[in-house]
Structure 1
Amino acid sequence: MPSSLITIAIKLSPFEALYGRRCRTPLFWNQTGEKQVFRPDLIRDPEQQIKMVRENLRVAQSRQKSYADVRRRDLTFKVDDFMYLKVSPMRGIRRFNMKGKLAPRYIGLFKIVERKGEVAYKLELPSNLSGIHNVFHVSQLKKCLREDLTYTEHPVKILETSERVTRNRRVKMCRVQWKHHTEDEATWERE
């Protein structure tokens, strides 16, 4: 990027912010004489220039922060919760005996031992991960909901029955329609 272009964040060119005057290009020399280039009013007070640049940067930073805060949420966990630990995927590096796309993104189910500060937690790691520091930022953790995430489906009605004959026995089967499913999605079950 040329140093004569004006940046949006500081509303000046980098050259002008650094030296307090505009960059002298051949075009600039031809349009104005040397006398006009070195006028005292062209060179601003350096302290005033620094204040203006800092204020413009602060405004740009707060604008970018407001964009980032739209999707941000505070994560808090409790002691004795179970977490998955994020393993950052890197190309060509073998992690947990897998390479590339097949390498796991999260490992474990690790128990939180204690909270360290506002955004860090200490985990109880197994002995095979003893070389890794056991305090992690919340961005590296993912909460495990429960191991036993199952649900039971309840039958609504039996649509038909049949008997299947195998080599040495007969198996009675019935076609069952389940709750929240249509008749086309009915399954054959043993009686």
Structure 2
Amino acid sequence: MDFGPAWHDHLALVEFAYNSSYHSNIGMTPFEALYGRRCRSPLFWDKVGERQVEGPQMIQQRTDAVEMIPLPPYLSSIHDVFHVSLLRQYVADESHILHLTEVQLDQDLSYVERPLRILDRKDKMLRNKSIPLVMVQWQRRGTEEATWELESRMRAEHPELI
């Protein structure tokens, strides 16, 4: 369909076509995925039993009628993501500055992060099993970014730490 230079006047039609088209990756139409029900067909029921197929002109007339309704003043400042009243002035903080460190790459241009030291040990108890874990501080990372790893894996891969 070629709408020429007035393509933006027909976005409602394109939106309807997209939302009512079956998508095999989700197994339904986008409208059905969002609202949990099937999209009504473009039929216009005037009275019970009477049907008239709506064409692009009828949909365009209804879209134009909706666009002519003015918004009440309390809705004019609403954004579709967040309300303007939620905006606050940014206060500078030194902790927000990211300091970049140079990364050392291996000969094959790969990067392998190596553990620096063991900070803590604990046993995680499951119903009938105990799993020994160690907290590992990684090279070029602070203690706040330490991770819990399996002690058996660390013992096998890095015996010099244990």
Q: TM-score, normalised by structure 1?
A: 0.23
Q: Which is richer in helix?
A: 2
Q: TM-score, normalised by structure 2?
A: 0.26
Q: Which is richer in strand?
A: 1
